[in-house]
Each structure stands twice: as structure tokens, then as C-alpha cells.
């Protein structure tokens, strides 16, 4: 069923089950977050690729406003709760600074497996050993699956977006395996990989692309 939802486009991949910390400073998104907080409603982050809004995005729940600043800026914590397909962008929302969209919910929960592929586990541990970190999915997550692990494999943004459109958990894990098989031999880029991985959990000062 189609529904309306406020959107916060970013050059960023976000997934169901993922917690994302953001620093909110633009007037339109300060208004968006305040509206969602007061109404108890969710918003969506669709990814921007090459100045174009990707067809799929992640619906987020505002988990907490951690801090409010005197100028209205905020530090917030959010949680990805689902995937949406954007049917139509609503560029002008009455009395609002932000943009919205008509979307439909997309199924994503494991329909064909709820187990982690042993090859994927082995490759992720191998990657982090090479880059000097001790990340182990089984220690970080109680029951890790593809969307839990995607932020920890330094996958290009375009490939991350592709995962949002894949409804098969088995296929998503195979996509991660293919990526790791390709990236592990190029560990001369280890410093870049480490920087991307270590960004998880920090408050991110992200600017939404001005595409509307």
C-alpha cells in the first residue's frame, strides 16, 4: 500500500536494523526531525547517486534526540526499520521546507534463509585481519545477516544501493561474498577501508545534496 513519508536524501547507504547517528543542522531537516518527533512518525533516507535519487531507500525511526543546541541543531539517533520503493517525489509539501515522497514498503526479511553463509563470515574476518581490526560478526551481532554486515565491508555506494532491491537473503550474502573476493587482494587500500569502517557509530555531519 502506498503512503507518504518525509525524505532526507543523502549520499549514504543505510539499511534495516542499522543504527545511524546524525547531526542535523539544515533548517529543512531540523523541521523534518521536529515534525517526526512530535507526531511519532518515521522518515526515509533514499540514497543519492550521481545527483540522482535512487529508486529504493530505508525507512528510519527516530530513536532519540540526544542533544539540542541553542540554534536548533540536533544530534539524533535513528534506526532503520524497513525498505521503501519511491513511486513519486513530492517536491512541495504544504507549509514545509523539506521534501516528501509517495512510497511503498518492500519485503526484505529473510524468506529463503536465516543463516549466515560460512564463506561470508570467513572473508569478513580475513578482511579485518588484513586491515588491522579485530571485528568479528558473531561477537558484534547476536544473529548477523547481510544488512548487519554491509557497513563493515567497505562496499561502494552503488553496490550498497543494489542490495536494497534484492529480496533474497541468500543472494544478498552472495553479493557480499563477490565483493570481498574482489577487494581482499587489493589491501594496499587498507587505510581507506579502515577509515570507512571506523565511521560507524559517530555523529555524522552529512549535507543533503541540493537536487530538488
pLDDT at 80 over 60: yes
**Nearest-angstrom CA–CA distance, 94 and 126:** 51
Provide the pLDDT for residue 207.
78
Q: Print burial letters for 1-16: b (CB count within 10 Å at least 16), e (below 16).
A: eeeebbbbbbebbbbb
Element (H, E) at 164: helix 157-164
CA–CA distances in Å: residue 126 to residues 165, 180, 186: 27, 9, 13
**Least confident segment among 20-24, 94-98, 185-189, 194-198:** 194-198
Q: Does the domain made of 2-106 have the CATH classification 3.90.1150.10?
A: no
155-206 per-position pLDDT tens digit:
999 999 999 999 999 999 999 999 999 998 887 566 666 666 666 666 777 7
> What pLDDT is attached to residue 51?
87
At 174 the pLDDT is 97
The pLDDT of 6-28, averaged and rounded, is 95
Q: Is the pLDDT of residue 86 over 80?
A: yes
Q: What integer is the mean pLDDT of 28-56?
A: 95
Percent of residues, the chain, with pLDDT higher than 70 = 92
Q: What is the pLDDT of residues 46-65, one digit of tens each?
A: 999 988 999 999 999 999 99
HSE at residue 194, side-chain half, CA atoms within 13 A, is 12
Sketch the domain layout of the chain as residue ranges: 2-106, 118-198
For residue 8, give Cα distances in angstroms to 22, 66, 116, 154.
11, 19, 31, 23
More confident residue, 194 or 141: 141
- For the chain, report the end-to-end CA distance as a whole number of angstroms: 25
Given this model, what pLDDT does residue 188 score?
55
Q: What is the pTM of this model?
A: 0.84
What residue has cell string 533514499? 46
> What pLDDT score does 40 carry?
96
Amino acid at each position: 500500500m502506498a503512503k507518504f513519508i518525509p525524505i532526507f536524501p543523502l549520499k549514504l547507504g543505510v539499511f534495516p536494523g542499522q543504527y545511524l547517528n546524525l547531526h542535523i543542522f539544515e533548517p529543512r531537516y531540523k523541521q523534518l526531525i521536529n515534525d517526526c518527533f512530535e507526531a511519532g512518525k518515521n522518515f526515509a533516507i533514499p540514497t543519492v547517486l550521481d545527483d540522482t535519487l535512487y529508486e529504493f531507500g530505508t525507512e528510519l525511526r527516530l530513536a532519540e534526540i540526544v542533544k539540542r543546541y541553542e540554534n536548533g541543531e540536533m544530534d539524533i539517533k535513528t534506526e532503520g526499520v524497513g525498505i521503501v520503493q519511491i513511486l513519486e517525489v513530492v517536491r512541495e509539501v504544504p507549509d514545509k521546507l523539506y521534501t516528501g515522497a509517495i512510497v511503498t514498503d518492500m519485503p526484505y526479511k529473510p524468506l529463503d534463509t536465516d543463516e549466515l553463509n560460512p564463506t561470508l563470515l570467513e572473508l569478513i574476518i580475513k578482511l579485518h585481519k588484513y586491515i588491522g581490526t579485530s571485528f568479528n560478526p558473531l561477537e558484534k551481532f547476536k544473529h548477523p545477516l547481510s544488512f548487519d554486515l554491509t557497513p563493515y565491508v567497505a562496499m561502494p555506494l552503488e553496490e550498497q544501493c543494489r542490495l536494497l532491491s534484492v529480496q533474497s537473503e541468500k543472494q544478498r550474502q552472495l553479493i557480499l561474498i563477490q565483493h570481498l573476493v574482489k577487494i581482499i587482494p587489493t589491501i594496499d587500500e587498507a587505510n581507506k577501508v579502515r577509515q570507512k569502517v571506523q565511521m560507524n557509530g559517530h555523529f555524522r555531519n552529512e549535507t543533503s545534496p541540493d537536487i530538488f
